[in-house]
Amino acid sequence: MKKIIQALIPLAALLLFAQTLPASGPGGTAKEEMRGGHDGGHGGKKGGHHGYGRPKGPPADIPKHIQERTSADGTGINLNGSQIGVPGMTILAATQELKNVISLALMKNKLGDEGVKILAQSETFKHVELLNLWDNTLTAQGAKSIADSPHLTNLKELVLSRNDVGDEGVAALAASVNAKQLETLNLDGNRITARGAHAIAQSPMLSNLKKLDLYNNQIGPEGLKALLHSEHLKNLEELVVVRNDIDIESADALAKSKTLPKLRALTVF
């Protein structure tokens, strides 16, 4: 019993500091649908019970589908779950009528690194601020395409959840000038270790970051320590590190020793 009480004390201290972050997902508001969120990305279920009624492949008429999924003012496109693939991205990138798009939601579209390379090289998306590439089988190469893009220079929110960018991809993004305006970065489920966490912590390009989601990676206590003591993440307000091989005692001690001046929400368990 004594051991159980001792284990609960640091957990209680941590929970006083941690806050539950707002959930979002395809079942929420229009803006939430563009972003995705914790419900969909962290194990939650979405509509279409057991997959019934979900599309099995790309739309028969991709240009028409894109038109139907574009907002009336032409600043937002929601193609989440459309499965347009590389052929669809080729069409999307060549559609000059989309040159004013600010929000581009492409969750689950089977783009792969090739599709993201096409996106990154297209001047059509030079005004995009919100880019959602959730679950598109991206690797480090896809992340590098975003990092090296001459056009994706206005990104404020980047969602790369449930891909496989790894430490190499994270390092490329962290070193990119395209990250200078980022306020939200979702990297959950990308096999990131302490090495990737250090790349983020040591990046002056991420000084404007307010929310960082690293759910379901492998950063461990060492990676969390690097983030909490970063000299560059001075504007970070929310940090999610659930399922990262961090034990209760380590998390509690690190939370108490943090130096990030604006951090108000640390979610570890």
Looking at the domain that runs over 2-267, which CATH code has it been given?
3.80.10.10
215 exposure class (CB count in 10 Å sphere: 0-12, 13-18, 19+):
buried
Strands (E) across 79-207 are located at 103-105, 130-132, 157-159, 184-186
Domain boundaries of the chain, sorted by first residue: 2-267
pLDDT recorded at residue 30 = 46
pLDDT recorded at residue 36 = 61
pLDDT recorded at residue 77 = 98
pLDDT recorded at residue 179 = 98
pLDDT recorded at residue 227 = 98
CB atoms within 10 A of CB 264: 12
User: Which stretches within 18-130 are classed as H helix?
Assistant: 30-35, 38-41, 62-68, 85-94, 112-121
126-158 burial by CB neighbour count: b if 16+ within 10 A, else e? ebbbbbbbbbbbbbbbbbbbbbebebbebbebb
pLDDT recorded at residue 269 = 87
Residues of the chain with pLDDT under 50: 1-30, 39-41, 43-52
Compute the 3-state secondary structure of the chain and give helix, strand, coil in percent, each to the nearest 5: 40, 10, 50
pTM over 0.75: yes
pLDDT recorded at residue 207 = 98
